[in-house]
Structure 1
Amino acid sequence: MTKIQLINKINQAFVNVHLEDGIGMYEADCIDDYLQPTDIEYITWKAKDERVDWQKLLPIFLSDEIHKRFNSSCWTFMDAKGKRFILPCFLLQELEKPDTDNPIYFALTYAHNFDDFRILNPEQIGVIIDFLNYKLTIHLKNNDTNAEEECKKCLSIVKEKLL
């Protein structure tokens, strides 16, 4: 599978995913900062969370600029709906900017609660597996044994927990 094919599969698998009433990226960062839901700052940032089109967030993920209330730790404080909504952004970020602070391997390998991933449909789970297989191919080509082993471990866990 080529990178372009994988990007297209990611976009297709998550095309109609919305945040709904889930915890978005900005709200998650407020939670990380121990803000209370009644705090004005919390309310303000939660209102800024994109809820309909995750692709509107891609420029933040692909930019080199620092954005307030965006960091990779937001993943930890999201609920299942938030993780499903933001997952394609992290996958695409890892494909386009592999040297960023991306939590995707850690999130998939060391998830304390795989129940958050039960919200994913079979096509979305398949895309995660395709993504990991693609990354494994890259690591093998680059002779990056540490990244290869991490990717294999992640792939094994994802298959065990989600298939």
Structure 2
Amino acid sequence: MQNPREGRKIVLTRDIDGRTELVEWIRHADTVWIVSDGQERTIGPEARRQEWADLESQGFVEIFPTDQPKIAAEKERVLVLIRSAFQGVSLGEGVGLLQGQGLDDYADKLTLAAYRAQDEKQDWSAIPVAELNRCHSSLSFFDAAGMRFHLPAYLVAELEGSLQSIDVVYYLVHISRGGASQFETLSPAQREAVRAFLLLQLSDAHREFDQPMIQASLKNYWKADTVS
């Protein structure tokens, strides 16, 4: 059978009961594969129109590929979701931004203490994007508290197109390498914000080669049934 990932793919999503569901519609010649929750089914040309109408009636909307106004509106929705979910989060005793970069640089204790003294600890939205870009290794050194505090700053910067020296998506999809502990203190609302962020990345044509990893992480870690 033809590999469905070789066909033209459309990604649709819907929000239901506080969860985000994802459906892939993949067409090759006269055959369409519909993939949802890891389950795949095949339909022929005679059923395509009705199947598409059924998805639309269930509230599914196309996010990839799609027109720019839709992408812009969805981006604004996700930005609001992130800011709301992480509002009021402070660093506490977590690893700070400069401190994390210092750990990567093998800085001594005095230097690390000096870095931490400079780190923002109360308002993640006050962290300059230039600092996020400069501290490109810190994401690898955050503990759970540090990740919870800094993650929304990275997500917002990515959506606003300001993040240049680091790919936050990489850290969200390669969590099987021991990174899951960094996200263990995220609340359901915060996990849902991350999931919505990753779903939006599927509409980015520049992430075509990242899509299999993003989809795998949505299925295996950032699952809808674990964020509600």
TM-score between the two structures when normalised by the length of structure 2:
0.60
Q: What is the aligned partner in structure 2 of residue 86 from structure 1?
A: 150
User: What RMSD over aligned residues (CA atoms) do the two structures have, in Å?
Assistant: 2.4
User: Which one has the bigger helix percentage?
Assistant: 1
Structure 1 pair 107/144, CA: closer, same or farther in 2 (3 Å)?
closer
Look up the SS of the partner of 1:78 in the other structure.
coil
> Which has the larger Rg?
2
Q: Residues 67-86 of structure 1: matches in 2 within 5 Å? A: 67=131, 70-86=134-150
Question: 1:157: which partner in 2?
Answer: 220
CA drift of 1:118 comes to 1.2
Shift of 1:102: 2.8
- Of all paired residues, the percent bearing the same amino acid is 25
In the TM superposition, residue 144 of structure 1 has moved relative to its aligned partner by 5.2
* Higher fraction of strand: 2
Query: Residues 19 and 52 of structure 1 are in contact (CA less than 8 Å); yes or no, is this contact kept in structure 2?
Result: yes
Cα separation, 1, equivalents of 2:183 and 2:122: 20
Shift of 1:46: 1.1
Q: Structure 1 stretches of 5 or more lacking a match? A: none
1:101 maps to 2:173: no
Alignment partner of 1:25 out of 87, 92, 97: 97
TM-score (norm 1): 0.81
Higher RCO (CA-CA < 8 Å; seq separation 6+): 1
- Asked if 1:43 corresponds to 2:109, the answer is no
Report whether the alignment pairs 1:119 with 2:185.
Answer: yes
The verdict on how the C-alpha distance between 1:143 and 1:97 changes in structure 2, with shifts beyond 3 A counting, is closer
Number of residue pairs matched?
151
